[in-house]
Amino acid sequence: MFNDDELRVLNNIWRSPTPSKVVAFSWKLLWNRVPTKTNLALRGVQPNGGSLDCLHCLGKEESGAHLFLFCDFAGQVWNALFRWLGLVIVMPPNIFLLFDCFTGAAVNKKFWKGYALIWHAAIWMIWKSRNDIIFSNGVIDLEKVIDAIKLCSWRWGLSLHKIPVCLFYEWCWDPGLCLRR
């Protein structure tokens, strides 16, 4: 079902200072068990209005791979994060490889943990923003999602004591400064 590289990612996602409910969500995504419209339809659950369209893109089904990777909105989120981290990454063809690209850019163990943490925060916030829009009349707001990713990754890193202490503005300015300490 999974190849060796994918099995390694399924193991490695737990090795980051991220709340376990958040890692569990990423884990479900890698197993393709997140209740996207496509997955709900496969289980016989009709989404509101019957359309399987992604809320960001007309005519594109909301699958896990679409919503978290191929969707224009997801692409904008990942690219903003790459810019923030100063990474040059070509978008990979699946979510396993996206984790590898992120963590593969780490220069040491601290960076690895920080990058894995940010990857989880992005997955979590893409889903949260999708739910806010569908269930709470939220609006599509890239800046807000990016700010939320920066804030929760900083908070989780601090509270789980795996990332050196730094101030929030320092984290926003350059997470590498904090991870290098």
Structure-derived torsion over alpha carbons of residues 78, 84, 88, 90, reported in degrees to the nearest 10: 0
Query: How far apart (Å, rounded) are the C-alpha atoms in residues 68 and 90?
Result: 15
In this complex, which beta carbon is closest to Zn ion, that of residue 71 or of residue 125?
Answer: 71
Q: How far is the CB of 129 from Zn ion (least distance, A)?
A: 12
One character per residue 14-53, x = contact with Zn ion (rule: CB under 5 A): ----------------------------------------
Residues of span 69-108 touching Zn ion by CB under 5 A: 71
The least CB distance from residue 136 to Zn ion, in Å, is 19
Q: How far is the CB of 52 from Zn ion (least distance, A)?
A: 11
* Helix extents (H) in 136-162: 142-159
Work out whether 113 is an interface residue with Zn ion (CB under 5 A): no
Q: Which stretch, 20-28, 63-71, 82-90, 134-142, contacts Zn ion (CB under 5 A)?
A: 63-71
User: 12 burial class (0-12, 13-18, 19+ CB within 10 angstroms)?
Assistant: middle
Q: What is the dihedral of CA 22, 33, 14, 20, to 10 degrees?
A: 30
- Sorted by sequence, the CB contacts under 8 Å of residue 125 that are 6+ apart come out as 77, 145, 148, 149, 152
Options 56, 120, 130, 150; binder of Zn ion; rule CB under 5 A: 56
Shortest separation between residue 20's beta carbon and Zn ion, angstroms = 28
Cβ neighbours of residue 127 closer than 8 Å, sequence gap 6 or more:
25, 34, 67, 68
Check binding of 54 to Zn ion (CB under 5 A).
yes
Contacts with Zn ion by CB under 5 A lie at 54, 56-57, 71
